[in-house]
Amino acid sequence: MEISKRITDIVSEAERELGDIFHEIDRISYKNTKRIMDAFREHRVNETMFNPTSGYGYNDGGREALDAIWADVMGAEAAFVRHSIVNGTQALTIGLFGLLRPNDILFSIAGKPYDTLDEVIGNSGRAGDGSLRDFGVEYRQADLFPDGSFDAERIKEVFREDGERIKVVFIQRSKGYLNRKTLSVAQIGEAVKLVRSLKKDCYVVVDNCYGEFTELYEPTAYGADMIIGSLIKNPGGGMAETGGYIAGSARAVELASYRLTSVGCGLEVGATLGQNKSLFKGLFYAPHTTAQALKTAHLAAYVFGERGLGFESEPAWNEPRYDIIQTVVTRSPELLCALCRGIQAGSPIDSYVTPEPWEMPGYSDKVIMAAGAFTQGSSIELSADGPLREPYTAFLQGGLTYESGKIGIMSAAEEVLREMNK
């Protein structure tokens, strides 16, 4: 891998400027690690908890301890984490179907949810496939203002019109495939207060993907009834090879557990098949690994932003960030593809592969994805992707180590520079 002097000079300058920011990231990582270790001690984690169970999985002490630890760490009343949840979309589906009933309304107050939820909600796809709409659940939406704040008047308007039927208020913490700011936990907390002032008996559900351990607390500590995420993002720490979690109020988690297994069984069943150890270890690593990804994101913002190659990047290199996603607006399909090629070439796995746009299941546009990861689709490992639609935004995330993330960012910058100079 040959890196030009221009790119190495930008990276050296970036690291000098980012020293204080990196120090603050390490401080948050330490605090979150301490909370996890305190929970491990409180629940007396020991090697027997890593033993596999089979069949029904009754009396799985490791599974039960991990659920309790997860609740403590997330500041929730209850939680469950399962290797059998295939991705974040399924975890969200479990939560939403667990809470919503026919004639209820799902109200998203942070704009359009992530693309893969379109068919789950019923905003796209075929009637009869089993979406929420097929089961009589209606959908409403309030968009964020351009500055990323909630539209309180629109939210109040929808509650005036449909308040009796609104059962779930949905908030997506990260930007997804939208060119908007990620929400902080404090912002989500203010939204929860607003919702509670309008209706007390509805559930506030947060798609927490990409945001875990970027701050000192999670949305459940600020009043959210349920938070949901994937283990091959932040909370799996690069160790969990699959899985997802749900945490929140005792009743909300109980209802979700009936969707996970069946009414009456809930969390009493579910063989862990020897996967507990990687889930415990992943949670242990999660704050540190998230910190590495945050540092990589700050570096990417500097290298591709106005201080570096001159692209529009969000957040800016010196702004606080509340998830691990970094966007770079390339304004052309060629530059988007070049950036993804560079990330792939700078990855530890499949570095020789050239990513190409394709029609991925669950997405409305062709998507290009670069992810030379040890675990397929792992977003805590350095990856870049984006839909081939204007303004051709690259969404970067991850970095198991800052050192490997730095190499990947330099590789991507070099490939983009070559494409710009054609």
Residue-wise pLDDT tens digits, 281-316: 999 999 999 999 999 999 999 999 999 999 999 999
Question: What residues does each domain of the chain span?
Answer: 5-32+284-420, 52-276
Q: What is the mean pLDDT of the chain?
A: 96
Instruction: Judge contact between 258 and 270, C-beta under 8 A.
Output: no
What are the C-alpha distances in Å from 138 to residues 60, 104, 141, 202, 404? 38, 6, 10, 15, 45
CATH, range 52-276: 3.40.640.10
The values of phi and psi at residue 23, to 5°, are -65, -40
Residue-wise pLDDT tens digits, 312-327: 999 999 999 999 999 9
When pLDDT is cut at 50, 70 and 90, the band that residue 422 belongs to is confident
When pLDDT is cut at 50, 70 and 90, the band that residue 59 belongs to is very high
Q: Does position 369 have pLDDT exceeding 90, yes or no?
A: yes
Determine the 3-state secondary structure of 155 from DSSP: helix
pLDDT > 70 fraction of the chain, expressed in percent and rounded: 100
Residue from 167, 171, 236 nearest 202 by CA: 167
What are the C-alpha distances in Å from 274 to residues 63, 84, 207, 240? 10, 12, 28, 12
Over residues 81-85, mean pLDDT: 98
Q: Does position 364 have pLDDT exceeding 80, yes or no?
A: no
Q: Which segments within 142-275 are labelled E, that is strand?
A: 166-172, 203-207, 226-230, 244-248
1 CB neighbour count, 10 Å cutoff: 10
Superfamily of domain 5-32+284-420: Methioning gamme-lyase, C-terminal domain (3.90.1150.60)
Pairing of strands 105-108, 138-141: parallel
Over residues 104-108, mean pLDDT: 98
Structure tokens at 109: 């107050």
Q: Does position 360 have pLDDT exceeding 80, yes or no?
A: no
Q: What is the pLDDT of residue 192?
A: 98
Over residues 34-60, mean pLDDT: 97
Structure tokens at 173: 């913490």
Alpha-carbon span 337 to 244, nearest angstrom:
30
Peptide bond into 357 cis (omega under 30): no
When pLDDT is cut at 50, 70 and 90, the band that residue 359 belongs to is confident
239: DSSP letter: T
Residue from 91, 70, 3 nearest 345 by CA: 3
